Amino acid sequence: MKTLKKIIAFSIIAGLILMTIATAQTAFAAEGLADHQFSVGKILNLADGQQQQSYFKTNGNTPIVNLVLTGIDVALRVIGSLAVIILIIGGFRMMVSQGDQTALDSAKEIVKYAVFGLVITFLSYIIVIFVQSLFVTETVI
């Protein structure tokens, strides 16, 4: 019976992930590929024949600043996504506890810590945006 519960939980999570991917692909296909193409000739042909300096800087920031900001952005997205997945798992465990108080209590703990994780992720995102506004002229995240 426990393996059946694990299979059902895995199927639901895999279905949610596949639906998210399918939705993103459908949205991308609806926009059309023409919007995502660019002319390489326009980028490589420069008036004075020199390499563009803006290639090495984006939004007035150095590559190191952009790398750090991108790393923070990716980390926050991954942590937030994991917290949502754990929240879904905790809710599913609450539904299948079948009146077992210990299973219900452990599921409540999972949901509580997942919500704490989401709150901490959102607060850290706000802190990053605030600190970034102090040091960087334009917002990259």
pLDDT averaged over consecutive 10-residue blocks of the chain (141 residues)? 74 76 58 54 58 54 74 86 90 89 92 90 85 66 51
DSSP code of residue 45: -
117 within a domain of the structure (yes/no): yes
CA dihedral 13, 15, 18, 19 (to 10 degrees): -110
User: According to the model, what pLDDT value does residue 140 have?
Assistant: 47
User: According to the model, what pLDDT value does residue 38 have?
Assistant: 56
Q: Which amino acid is at 141?
A: I
Q: How far apart are CA 98 and CA 111, in angstroms?
A: 17
Enclosing domain of residue 117: 52-135
**Total-model pTM:** 0.51
Q: How far apart are CA 95 and CA 89, in angstroms?
A: 10
User: Which distant-in-sequence residues (6+ apart) come within 8 Å of 137 by Cβ?
Assistant: 59, 60, 61
Same domain for 56 and 3?
no
46 within a domain of the structure (yes/no): no
Name which of 96, 94, 123, 98 is nearest 106 in CA terms.
94
Same domain for 57 and 121?
yes
Same domain for 32 and 101?
no
User: According to the model, what pLDDT value does residue 76 have?
Assistant: 85
44 within a domain of the structure (yes/no): no
